[in-house]
Each structure stands twice: as C-alpha cells, then as structure tokens.
Structure 1
Amino acid sequence: MGELSGQVPLLLKKEDEFDHIKKIPVLVSSTIKVIMWVIFIAWATFISILPIKFVNEQQFRFIQATQGTIFGSTGSVFLMFSLPIFMIAFLAIVRLILNGEDERQVCRKKNAKGPNFSLWTFPVLVDGPFGVVTAAEMIGIMLFAGYIVWAVIMYTIQNVDLLSSFHMQDMKEKSALLLELTGFRFGFIGLVCLAFLFLPVARGSVLLRAIDIPFEHATRYHVWLGHLTMALFTLHGLFYVICWAMRGRLLEELVDWKNEGVANLPGVISLTAGLLMWVTSLPGVRRKNFELFFYTHQLYVVFVVFLALHVGDFIFMIAGAGIFLFMLDRFLRFFQSRKTVDILSTTCFPCGTVELVISKPANLNYNALGWIFLQIRELSWLQWHPFSVSSSPLDGKHHLAILIKGLGDWTKKLKGNILNLSVEQSEKAPLLQHNKKIIASVEGPYGHESPYHLTYENLILVAGGIGISPFLAILSDILHRINDSKPCLPRNILIVWAIKNSDELPLLDTVDMEAICPLFSEKLNLEIQTFVTRESQPTLEEGRVPKAMHPSISPGFKGCRMSSLVGTGNVVWSGLYVIVSTIGLVITVALVDIFYINAFNVYYWWYKGLLLIGSMVASVLIFGGLVIALWHLWDRKTSSKEESDDATKKVDVLQQKNEISLHKSFGEGRFVNNIRYGQRPDLQEMFASHAKIWGNVDIGVLVCGPPTLQSSVAKECRRQNLQRSGHQAIFHFNSHSFDL
C-alpha cells in the first residue's frame, strides 16, 4: 500500500505536466486571437478616420511618394487596405491549426459559475427589414451606419471648403462641381463597403471559420452589405449623371473611356450589372422568381471586371483583398463540384420528402449542423440548392444524409425522377439496374467550425416542417456521443416540431435512437412535442413508413465519393492554399510591373486595372492550382489504404439502412410521445415551464423554419430574458435557417 501511495503523486505530476503542455497551444491561440483583433481594430480605425482632412492628405502624400517604386500606387493602397485582411487570414490559419479538434475544448462548459448573457445570442430586433438581429449584430449595424453618416458629413464639409477655393461666380457650374465632388465621395465610401461585401460569401473562408460564423449567417451580412453598397454606388452614379446633364454633356460623358483617369463607360456597365443584381435580389422578386435572381447574380463577374476598368488598379485594390479571397473560395468550390458523386440510397416519405444518402470519403469531416449545396445534372446544370445535413458525422464515415422537401419545381422534379427510376428498376432485370442512376455534384459541407449545440447542457429545438432535418442530426450526434462516452454536455432536450399534416411524422424515424444508444433514457432527458396544425385527429395511416427505394444500389456501383478538397476540410491544406496563392499574387503583380508596366511605361488606368484582375486570376489558377493538385495527390495517397474495403463498407451501410427501414415500417413511432392535433405550440408556456424545471442555467434555443417561426422564437427568448429575475434561466437564441 505504501509503494502504491508513493507512486500516486508521480502519476499525478506527470498528468499535470501533460495538461500544462496541452495548455501551451491554447495560450498561443488566445494570443493570436488578440493580435487578430488588434490588427482589425487598427485597420477599421484607419478607415474611420480617413474622412478627416489631415489624414486624407497624409494618405494622398503617401500614395504619391510610392509612385516610383516597383508596385507603385497599387502597392501603397495594398498596404493600407488589403494587407491587414491577408494578415488576419494568415493568423486565422495558424489559430485553426493550433485549435485542432480538441473535443474537450469544444464541449467544455461555458459558464461554470452560472448562466451569462451573450451578445451573439441575445435578440434585440425580431421584426423588421433585417429579420432577427442579435445584440452583436446590432452593434455592427450601428457601427456601419455611424461610419456612413460620419463620412458623409466630413466629406461634405471638405467639398464645401474645396468649392470655396475655386471662387466661381456661375452658380450652375458651382452646383455641378459640388454634385461631382459628392458623387466622388459616395463612390469611395461604396468601395470601403465593397471591401467587406465578398468576405461573407466565401463559404470556406478561414476568416469566417476563425470567428466561427457559419455561411448561412454570413449570407445575411452579405445581403445587408449588398443593399448598402449598391445604394452608395447608385448615389455615386446618380450625382455624376445629374452633374453631366447640368453641363449638357450627358451622352458624351456616359460613353467616355479615358485612358488616363477614371473611365466612365466601364463604370456605367459595372453599375448596370450591379443594379440588375440588386433589383432581382429584392425579397419580392427573389421569392417569386428565384431562378431569375440566381442567374442575374452571376453578373458579379461583369460587375467586378468593369469596376476594375472603371477605377484602375490602385483604387480597385481598396476592395482587392475581399475579392481575391472570394476568388480563391470560388475556384476551390469549382474544383470540388466537377466531381460526380454516388447517391447511395433514396427514400421517399409519404409527405413528399426525399432522403438522399450521399457517398463521402472517410477523411472528410463535418459538423452535425452542416450544409451542402447539391446539383442534379438531370434537372439543371446551373442550379445549386442548399440543404442541411440530417445525419451525424458519427453515423458513418462513408456517407451523409439530407432530407429534401418537394416545395419548388426543382425539388418536385427530383422526387418524380426518383419515383420513376424506382419503378423502372423494379420492372427490369437486376443486371440492367446500373444503367440508371442519379448523377449529382456536391459543394461542401459548410457550417459552424465548432459544434456549438454540444456546449449547452439544456437545449430547446424548435422546428417547422422540414426544419426538423438538422435537429435529427443533432439528436443522432448526441446519442452517439453518449453511447461512445465522448464529451457531450446536453442532458435535457426539448424538441418542438410544428407540421401541417401527420404524414410528416415518419421523418422522426430516420433516427433509430434505441439502435444508436440502447440506454439513452438513463442519461438523456428527451421530450418531443409535435403539433399537427391542419388535422384535428390522427389518421388511420399514422406512423406507417414506406419501404426504402435504392435506385443506385447495383452491381454498377462505381464508388464515386464527394471530393474532400473543400475550404472547411483539411485546415493545413486549405491554409496553404490561401497563403501560397496570396504570395503568388504579390509575385505575379511584381513581375507584371517590372517586365511590362514599368518597362513599357503603361499608364492607362483601365488597362492597369485589367492587368490587376488578370494577375489575380493567374495567381489563383497557377499557384492555387498547384496547391490543389498536390492536395489532391496527398488525398489520394492517404485514402488509398481504405479503397480496398471502401465499397464493402458502403454496401454494409446500405444494407444496415435497409434493415432499419424495414424495422421502422412495422414500428409504432414510439419516439413521438406527445402529438397534439389542431394546435400550435404555445412557446411562452413551454419556455416558462422548462425554465422553471431546469432552474438557473443557460438554455440553448435553436430554431429552423420559416421567418415567422424564427421571429416568434426570438421574441419569446427576448421576453423571457428581459423578464428574468433572480436565479432564472437565460435563453440563448440560435438560428439554423438559410433564408436566401
């Protein structure tokens, strides 16, 4: 006993030393995060004080002083506006690598001393043009609005002072000059907003991953910034048009293409493309004719290229970093989407929902709250549609599942193709089945960097209709973690599901809870409340599930998996892709400047803008393409070990799903314990009662459904938090809806 007791301190000492070593990356990661914030605040401060006359003059002098260098004025603007973004991106890569996949760090309890409010999860606006806005988002909106007002006021004062120095007597010419100066200022402010515009739509961006903003949230910021940017550019063009009309030179100025200075015609073309995108993206147009919105939005290429021709290279570099990072993401998405993917199985539910099980490589990790973009070539070569993943990454390494509700033309055609394919295969010989299959392409998966649903001990999941899909993934993920003794905080879960008809109930059976975790009821307090709003009583067919149909299970199975070359995939390779491409951009621009622009004294602004765009494209294709090629070779080499038994594993997965489907077909839907007909959920009563039961805790509220449901849930979270007194629960609002 003495010997054993003497060994214990040594063991504890070694464990403490090991924990101390593990804390070093966390400390370095925290330091990098602070540095990133310092750089961003310094950069934002510089932009905000630019409207001050003294700072503006110093900036102009710095640009003038660098004209004789290799990079010229473009280099100086790059240092001031684009370099900070790239520095933050590089630091974000290092931080993501250091963070790794430490599940204990991800799933740690946030507030050991009690519940606390969070700016990111406290809704302050629930109704209005912005939808549901949290406190953190409201701060961002106010800062942007404050900058716009501040810049307009300061630039107006400068314009008036500049106008007084001309000593003009003609009031008409004086007014025209004031309009011209004002239009110029609006154009510059629009370029500053454009510097942010493309960052949120880079789906696999290391910047978004570093601050853990998923693309479905970032898309909202892109929409807000898009409206603001186009409003500023519209004012920019409108003031110039009025000015030219007052001078009687409207047509001449509109078609003017200056070689030195700003070229007007490219600006007109760029603004026209932007206006088309803006008008078709308005909610009334987008919701009624999504395809029109989708196709006209591809005019962003015209918008960007002709903007570069309009302002030249050094002015374009104000927004160059964000545009370049978007180009990198777009090229990687293009490469991933070229690969066709096997649809391992399909299941048609009586409510018109289709489940697709898609083949994926084992080394492609994703979050339970993930999204993919899907293209079915039989339906359209251009349309890509987003769907939330309905399976947990722990369900299997070689597949993921999505649920698709037949709501629009595209989804209804998909369901019809699957039904027709299953009928054809049932009538033909099995040896001919491999001639018929669904050809799909996939982009993603995308989503949160960390599984934030695992950081709450208490969860309320509110879904409307097909919005149950991501919550099935959450439920499966939690059950797997409990069964495998992995870090997982959730212990109390309430699922509130509102559906129109009872034929949607079988969707819950896609998660076989007892098969995943036989004793889950001992460790998880799970309550499911389903509300069937359009039926007053249960139907005779309730709970019956049709047998699954698998048109792609055949001897012709080719083993085509999703590509693992995705921005949210391997952190090292995706980071190397960004770094090498950015260095390649600097090298390419330097070579063009040394051997062409400076050597041949090229001074045309529009031409230098075109050369800058060409340098961006070349660096993405050459340097980025080289990294992608090496990444692809590495991926093939690392996955070659599992290729031999990969097909067997996939077939086993499909056979397992068949057995589960057959089991469910005769099941009784025992997991839906509380079904109410002809009612809608009373969120106020539910939230209040569970807050009383669970006590003084943080409650994570996740909602997935239409905007009206999001607003209702956000309003109730805000109500409960504002009325909170004493030791009561705090509700944290989180939305998992993609409202494009």
Structure 2
Amino acid sequence: MERLTAVRMVLLLVFVGWLFMWVMLPTKTYKDSWKLTLSARLGSTYFREQGTNLLLFSFPIMFLASLGCVYLHFQKKSCPESNLSRRSWLDSWNRPLIVMNPLGIVSAMELMFAAMFVVLLGWSLGNYLYVSFGHLHMHTASEKLVGLTSESSVKYHIWLGHLSMVLFTAHSVGFIIYWAITDQMALMLEWSRTYVSNVAGEIAFILALVMWVTSIPRVRRKMFELFFYAHQTYILYLFFYIIHVGVAYFCLILPGIFLFLIDRYLRFLQSRTNVRVVAARLLPCDTLELNFTKIAGLDYNPASILFLNVPSISKLQWHPFTVTSNANMEPDMLTVLIKARQEQQPDDEHHKLPKSVVLICAFKNSADLSMLDILLPLTSNLTSRSYLSEINLEIQAYITRETEQPLENTKKPLQTIWFKPHPSDSPISAPLGPNSWLWLCAIISSSFVMFLVLLGILTRYHIYPKERVPEGSVYNYTFKTLWDMFLVCGSVFLATSFVFLWQKKENNKKEGMKVQNLEGDHEVGEEIESVAHRSVLETTEVHFSRRPDLKSILMEKNKKGSATGVLVSGPRNMRHEVAKICSSPNQAKNLHLEAMSFNW
C-alpha cells in the first residue's frame, strides 16, 4: 500500500505540473520569455520546433498513462475486493449535486472539474486575444477581431463535442469575416508551404459540421445509419485538422491521439477473431440473451461494455452492449441482453457480495416479467451455487398498465436455443492476456519512445539538412505534419501488433483454444432454468396498476444505518428522481448512488 501511495503522489505531482504549463501557455510571459528560453535549449536539431511541446505537454500525459497502468495492475492484486463500508471522505464529492436537464445527474466532483475546464478555457481565450490582438494585420484602426480559437478536450464526449464545435465555428466564421472586412478573402484558398494551411482547416471545419449536425438527437435517433457513417469521417477530420494546426500544436493534442490509436487498433485486432455463441434465450418481451464462452480467469467490472458485430446485418457496425453476467458466478460464460426499444437491466456487483439485494423493477405489461427468469445463469456450477446461497434476494415487481394477473395459459415459455461449436470459434479473452495493464504500459511506453527515436532520426538526418542548404530554406510545413502522423501511426501499429500477437500465442498455448462443449448439457440447462424460474417466483412480489414509491423504499433502507448501494437504470425521469433522493447528505447519508443510462 505504501508503494501505491507513492505512485499516487507522483501521478498527482506530474498532473499538477502539466496543468500549470497549460495555465502558463497562453500568457505573454510564456510566449515572450519562457518559450524563447525553452526553444533554445530543447529545440535541438533532433526535434526542432516540436521539442518544447513534446517535453512539456506530450511526455507528461504519456508518462501518466504508463505509470497509471502499472498502478492499476498492482492495485488489482492488492485490493481485489470492493466494499461499501470502505467509503471515504470523497463520497461527499461523488453525491449528486445538480439534477436537471440537459445536464442530467452531475456530482460535486464532476462540477468541480467542469468549472476548472471552463476557467482554463476562458483564461486561454482571454490571453489569446490579449497577446495576439496587436500582431494582426489590420488595414484601419476601426477594424475588430471576431474569430476565436476552439479548445478541444474530452471529458464528456457530448458536452465537449458541442462546446468545441461552437468555438470551432466561431473561430472559422470569425476569420472569414475578418478576411472579408480587410479585403483578404484570397487567404481562404491559401495552402502555405511555410506555415499552416487555411484550406485544410476549412475542410476540417466542413467535416466537423457534418458530424455535429447528424449527432443532434432527433437526427441520430431517426436516421442512425446517417449518423453512424457520418461520424466515421472523424479520421479525415483529424487528418486535415492536424495539417491545419501544424507540428508544434500537434504535440499539444498528441497524447490523446496516441492513446486513442492504441485503443482503437487493439479493438480492431481483437475483432478479427470469431467467438463462440453457446446459446440464446428468447423471452416473450422482445428480449434476447446471448451466451458466449470466455477464457477462465477473464475478469471484468460491473457494467463493462462488449462490442458486438452481426455480419448478416452489417460488417462495419459494432454496437456496444452492457455485460449482464457475473464474472465470479459464471467463470466460463459471458452474457449480454438485447432488448428492443427499451433499456437493458444491468447486473447487481461481482466482487464483494452485499448481504441482501432488493430489486425494484417496473414493467409495462406482465409479459415483461419473463425478464426475471434470466437473473440466474444459463448453466450452474459450484461457484455460482455458493454465490446464490449467500444472496438474500428480494424482488418487487410493478406492472403499470395492467390491473390484475392475466390467465396463466397466456404466458409464453422461455425458449433456449443451443448452438453447435465451430472449429474457428474461440472463447472471449482479454486482448493482452491476464496482465493486461502491464502489457498496455509496455505498448504505451515503447510506442512513444519509438516515435521519439524515429522523429529524432528523421529530423536530424532528413529535415535539418534540407533547411540548412541552401541557407535559410524551409522544409515544407505540410510534409512535416504528414511525417509526424505517419510516425505516430507506424509506432502504434508496430508496438501494439507485436504485443498482441505475442499474447495471443501465449493464450493459445495455455488454453489450447479449447471451447467448452456444452452440447450434452441441454437437459441440465433445462433443469436449471426450471429451478431458477421457481426460485425467482418465490422471491418476487408483483404489484399491479401502480408505480413503486421509490422515496419511501430508499428512506427505509437509509434508516437502517448501514451503507447501501443504489444502482438505478431506466428512463431519465426515474434516474433523476432517485438522484434527488440520494443527493441529501443529511437525510440520505447512507445511500450511495450509481446511475446508468443506455439512451443518449
């Protein structure tokens, strides 16, 4: 634990130092004093104008990412269990502070970071205008600057996507207006050889507008195909955006692009493998449960995301689904639920089991009660039985659109379809093996070092000589940017491919690509389903023609004095209602909220 504490301190210090440099970046002190000194010392023949930004803005984040992977690896080994009783003073910061549309449920911690971002954004824009205003090419004293720069960062994709697009639009429209009133509209067609390209920025702006317009909820929900394929143009957007900002500013956003490429390429490599579907359970309430085999020992957190592709529907579309199985109860199986037009029900935690679980669910019709039949796993073993025996499960089901229980013969039975294994199928496994965090650290650090080495060699022995002979010549600015992008992609692909293929080879040796043969377990599975159905019926109390009184139920749990985890998922109004109940530190001090949404 002492080592983990020391690592946390190092991570904090590096992060604070990185933030401090961002605060100083737009100031006149940095531009007129610090930058000149740092460039003289760091802008060597190996990195030129990129040296300063690589050291001050790229390296800290890559270091944090690498060290963070090591920290998570050892934290997982030293603290394998989570417990509600171990809550700390940070709980008060994680309580809901704001519950309103369109922000949703916002905790004090999230609000603090959002405020910090807004303050930094305002500081950067203000200093940008103050420092840059006097250097603009003005024709008359009465002309004013309209354009603003766009600060792009990702904390919440939707929020910052809209914010960055608003600023990006202001930046672009502002410069167009400025060029118009100063009779410089020809600059719109300029692709400078020695500086940034205006044309590339305009192309990036048009692509960003297409993604922005198609992401509007009304367009996205009614024309999903248009939204999905329009969003794939982010690759072209990044390409032209990087060309527009140039190599020096590219280093400011390099860590985000670097880490995204690693994650995206790992998912691509893993998607080349077919996995085995063991069985599917069909429910009369338009719900499908898919059961996959997985490598024994594959661990995952509650509400982890699994990307699925159905080639018969589309070979290009991968859709995220929440894993609903328990890693400890089902060591060889992994399941997901797919429900038409309604949210999926997430699974209660798989680490430290609570003493009792109260499931409060609201359905429109009694046919939806069949969702409860799949609370228990498809197959049973000693591990799952021991876990089930420890849970004191109580189910309160509310049917809102029916006044009484329909006739028994109207209920459709649960259907289970078993699939035959295919020789090319393999169980689901972690892309980097059991020590994923350590291998991810190896990929991040080795690929970044490889990029720096290749960039240094290229700059020193290709770009630098061309800029010195003849004297005063300048290497094509766009070509510099293209070289940077090529080296980033090459470094990520080489390092990631090597580690992934090495781990895949090791997994094949250990597992022998064995797929558990469950063909003979049909009768056992049917027997388990019958027992599970009876068990669920015994613990379920059904209420017709009314909704649950969530406030009374939660307040009753709060009065008992012990820490109670509240996991809420469903319509937005219900999530907000529960969040408001749990937001009071005095009246609901024992309630700890976790809200999940499957509808954006």
TM > 0.5 = yes
Secondary structure of 2:292 counterpart? strand
1:731 offset after TM fit, Å? 2.0
1:351 offset after TM fit, Å? 0.4
User: Match of 2:5?
Assistant: 30
C-alpha distance in 1 between matches for 2:75 and 2:390: 29
- Contact 1:506–1:543, Cα closer than 8 Å, also in 2: no
Q: Structure 2: which 5+ runs fail to align?
A: 468-473
1:559 offset after TM fit, Å? 4.1
Secondary structure of 2:77 counterpart? coil
Letter aligned with residue 504 of structure 1? D
* Aligned residue pairs, count: 590
1:136 offset after TM fit, Å? 0.5
Secondary structure of 2:575 counterpart? helix
1:618 offset after TM fit, Å? 0.8
User: Match of 1:508?
Assistant: 372
1:687 offset after TM fit, Å? 1.4
1:285 offset after TM fit, Å? 2.2
Letter aligned with residue 36 of structure 2? R
User: Match of 1:311?
Assistant: 245
Matched, 1:623 2:495: yes
Matched, 1:47 2:59: no
Which of 659, 667, 687 lines up with 2:527 in the alignment? Answer: 659
1:495 offset after TM fit, Å? 1.5
User: Match of 2:572?
Assistant: 707
- Contact 2:84–2:563, Cα closer than 8 Å, also in 1: no
C-alpha distance in 1 between matches for 2:502 and 2:213: 42
Secondary structure of 1:470 counterpart? coil
1:503 offset after TM fit, Å? 1.0
Matched, 1:589 2:589: no
- Contact 2:307–2:321, Cα closer than 8 Å, also in 1: yes
Secondary structure of 1:132 counterpart? strand
C-alpha distance in 2 between matches for 1:403 and 1:632: 28
Letter aligned with residue 109 of structure 1? S
User: Match of 1:536?
Assistant: 403
- Contact 1:345–1:654, Cα closer than 8 Å, also in 2: no
Which of 184, 206, 220 lines up with 1:272 in the alignment? Answer: 206
Letter aligned with residue 35 of structure 1? V
- Contact 1:347–1:549, Cα closer than 8 Å, also in 2: yes
- Contact 2:139–2:182, Cα closer than 8 Å, also in 1: no
Which of 69, 73, 93 lines up with 2:49 in the alignment? Answer: 73
C-alpha distance in 2 between matches for 1:538 and 1:73: 74
Matched, 1:171 2:35: no
CA gap of 1:356–1:129, structure 2 versus 1, over 3 A, is same
C-alpha distance in 2 between matches for 1:518 and 1:92: 36
1:653 offset after TM fit, Å? 6.2
CA gap of 1:62–1:288, structure 2 versus 1, over 3 A, is farther
- Contact 1:364–1:569, Cα closer than 8 Å, also in 2: no
1:598 offset after TM fit, Å? 2.0
C-alpha distance in 1 between matches for 2:536 and 2:410: 6
1:289 offset after TM fit, Å? 2.4
Matched, 1:294 2:225: no
Alignment RMSD (CA, Å) = 2.8
Matched, 1:548 2:415: yes
CA gap of 1:106–1:682, structure 2 versus 1, over 3 A, is closer
- Cα deviation 1:650-709 (Å, max 9, x = unaligned): 4466664333235457x48424432111111211111122222x22x3322111223222
C-alpha distance in 2 between matches for 1:549 and 1:108: 36
Residues 5-20 of structure 1: matches in 2 within 5 Å?
A: none
CA gap of 1:655–1:54, structure 2 versus 1, over 3 A, is farther
User: Match of 1:562?
Assistant: 428
C-alpha distance in 1 between matches for 2:225 and 2:5: 44
- Contact 2:277–2:292, Cα closer than 8 Å, also in 1: yes
- Contact 1:109–1:489, Cα closer than 8 Å, also in 2: no
1:596 offset after TM fit, Å? 2.3
User: Match of 1:604?
Assistant: 476
- Contact 1:577–1:628, Cα closer than 8 Å, also in 2: no
Letter aligned with residue 225 of structure 1? L
Letter aligned with residue 96 of structure 2? P
Which of 525, 537, 540 lines up with 1:673 in the alignment? Answer: 540
Matched, 1:731 2:595: no
- Cα deviation 1:348-379 (Å, max 9, x = unaligned): 10101011001222243222332211111111
- Contact 2:307–2:318, Cα closer than 8 Å, also in 1: yes
Secondary structure of 2:337 counterpart? strand
CA gap of 1:286–1:495, structure 2 versus 1, over 3 A, is same
Secondary structure of 1:106 counterpart? coil
1:288 offset after TM fit, Å? 2.6
User: Match of 1:429?
Assistant: none
- Cα deviation 1:219-254 (Å, max 9, x = unaligned): xx122222222222221111111011112332x222
User: Match of 1:717?
Assistant: 582
User: Match of 2:470?
Assistant: none
- Contact 2:322–2:336, Cα closer than 8 Å, also in 1: yes
- Contact 2:344–2:598, Cα closer than 8 Å, also in 1: no
Matched, 1:118 2:95: no
C-alpha distance in 2 between matches for 1:707 and 1:273: 31
CA gap of 1:273–1:63, structure 2 versus 1, over 3 A, is farther
C-alpha distance in 2 between matches for 1:398 and 1:599: 59
C-alpha distance in 1 between matches for 2:433 and 2:25: 34
CA gap of 1:557–1:628, structure 2 versus 1, over 3 A, is closer
CA gap of 1:603–1:661, structure 2 versus 1, over 3 A, is same
1:109 offset after TM fit, Å? 3.1
Q: Which moved more, 1:507-516 or 1:591-600?
A: 507-516
1:337 offset after TM fit, Å? 0.9
Letter aligned with residue 130 of structure 2? I
User: Match of 1:206?
Assistant: none
CA gap of 1:550–1:593, structure 2 versus 1, over 3 A, is same
CA gap of 1:341–1:677, structure 2 versus 1, over 3 A, is same
1:493 offset after TM fit, Å? 2.3
User: Match of 1:135?
Assistant: 108
Secondary structure of 1:538 counterpart? coil
Letter aligned with residue 597 of structure 2? S
C-alpha distance in 2 between matches for 1:312 and 1:157: 22
Matched, 1:353 2:353: no
Q: Which moved more, 1:368-377 or 1:489-498?
A: 489-498
- Contact 2:359–2:395, Cα closer than 8 Å, also in 1: yes
Residues 137-156 of structure 1: matches in 2 within 5 Å?
A: 137-156=110-129
Structure in which a larger fraction of residues adopt helix: 1
User: Match of 1:499?
Assistant: 363
Matched, 1:336 2:289: no
- Contact 1:233–1:271, Cα closer than 8 Å, also in 2: yes
C-alpha distance in 2 between matches for 1:299 and 1:169: 38
CA gap of 1:368–1:739, structure 2 versus 1, over 3 A, is same
Q: Structure 1: which 5+ runs fail to align?
A: 1-25, 201-220, 408-464, 479-487
1:341 offset after TM fit, Å? 1.6
CA gap of 1:672–1:500, structure 2 versus 1, over 3 A, is farther
- Cα deviation 1:48-92 (Å, max 9, x = unaligned): 233332123234314642444211111211111111101111211
C-alpha distance in 2 between matches for 1:144 and 1:119: 21
User: Match of 1:614?
Assistant: 486
Residues 86-485 of structure 1: matches in 2 within 5 Å?
A: 86-102=62-78, 106-107=82-83, 109-111=85-87, 118-159=91-132, 170-172=140-142, 174-175=143-144, 178-179=145-146, 183=147, 186-187=148-149, 190=150, 193-194=151-152, 196-197=153-154, 221-250=156-185, 252-407=186-341, 466-471=343-348, 474=349, 477=350
- Cα deviation 1:501-548 (Å, max 9, x = unaligned): 111212212234998777889854432211111111111248956253
CA gap of 1:501–1:62, structure 2 versus 1, over 3 A, is farther
C-alpha distance in 2 between matches for 1:262 and 1:571: 38
- Contact 2:274–2:425, Cα closer than 8 Å, also in 1: no
1:31 offset after TM fit, Å? 0.9
CA gap of 1:265–1:684, structure 2 versus 1, over 3 A, is same
